[in-house]
Structure 1
């Protein structure tokens, strides 16, 4: 997984038709969701004007982290990929944002970051990189421990119940033109057990054409995912000690799972 994202780091923004626009849009959507799910002590929506202490345990190149920080939230962020953290740090400097970045495994989130956060999050289908329920439960327990009592956990994932199973499944991302080069992006998925399994191998292909010379280069990054259902992930969130766990649709570009650390839990 680390090699996959280290190689992807300089190209990651090409996944989006307009990455900067996506940074802003995802930050706004997450901020609205946070304000709705965990309002102020008086029960009123705090709005973007009141900063939250947010921990992103799978920040990548900063797509969600940068958007929330730009809205005034105090964001701490980490990722397992050193190159993605390096790029995220660069993107934050370019935007004049003060974000504490570091390299860390989400399964050691509390060990690395400590507690007291208002919100802990892992977005854009990062958690299914963990291959077993035990690893996911370890990560969720660590994330829950990072929260202050009453704080909220936010996880966004693919809806694997709606994804077809099989092999040679092609997912198209389209073409992007940048600096005189055209990049064509697509993924190929191969599920285990002749296409019926719960795990799949993924190849992410970048076919790059130099528009001046028509020279073509192809790169492929490979990783593996656990196609866990949102129902099972919600069960693991409850087992990790979170309450009021549920799935929210329509608030983000993926289903969002939310849970709260009980207010009575000792710090």
Structure 2
């Protein structure tokens, strides 16, 4: 991730109900917590501030660089890498937030990630993550007219931002985030997300050795399909 994109990400994605949910899932009792795909560390740092022993694992060096200079960063063990680098039986809690699960597109890659997490989480430990519900078809809102908004950077610069949907095919949705500075300079960030159904998520977790406790459809604990949040929020355990 470009350093400029890391800065934009923090402005565009402030603390929200999803963070509150995952912080609550980690619990009040200090635990060893893994934040897989920690990005710039918004939730990671809050977990550490709450008294947990936290590892933030992230493949993008620019995101980690942004996380490492934030207040409280010295309380976190930051690791640049992938799930394959995880140690065995090292965590009581594992999290994948901000739809990181959808960045893992291939079936083999997804199965490998879950296997790595199963190996890294102790018996009785928990896993929670979010993935957008394909039935909600949220990508239909990813158009320049519907998504256009403005971001104000810490130095006061106002950046125009919008999303362009480029392709929808066989569970994969591709898009481009666009950013335009006042001087006309533009930065684009393409991506592709995998939209898995609830049934697909349940099957893959069972195959990896997890027991699914609940799947919510919204951040207030609504059933799947009953919230405009359009989420599949998975809570699972190793038993």
TM-score normalized by the length of structure 1: 0.76
Q: Which runs of 5+ in 2 are unaligned?
A: 221-228
Please report how far the alpha carbon of residue 29 of structure 1 lies from its aligned counterpart in structure 2 after TM superposition.
Answer: 2.7
- Decide which of 149, 170, 175 is 1:174's aligned counterpart: 149
Q: Deviations over 1:182-238 (max 9, x none)?
A: 112222122245xxx3212221111222xxxxx222110112221222331222111
Does the CA-based 8 Å contact 2:18-2:219 persist in structure 1?
A: no
Matched positions, count: 228
Structure 2 CA distance, aligned partners of 1:248 and 1:118? 21
Moved over 4 A (4+): 4-7, 164-168
**Rg larger in 1 or in 2?**
1
Does the alignment pair 1:61 with 2:40? yes
For 1:1-267, list aligned pairs within 5 A: 4=1, 8-16=5-13, 19=14, 22=15, 26-35=18-27, 48=28, 50-91=29-70, 94-95=71-72, 97-106=74-83, 108=84, 111-163=85-137, 169-170=143-144, 172=147, 174-178=149-153, 179-193=155-169, 197-209=170-182, 215-251=183-219, 254-262=231-239
Structure 2 CA distance, aligned partners of 1:228 and 1:81? 24
Q: Which runs of 5+ in 1 are unaligned?
A: 36-47, 210-214, 263-267
Q: Deviations over 1:28-53 (max 9, x none)?
A: 43232344xxxxxxxxxxxx2x2111
What root-mean-square deviation, in Å, do the aligned CA atoms of Structure 1 and Structure 2 show?
Answer: 2.5
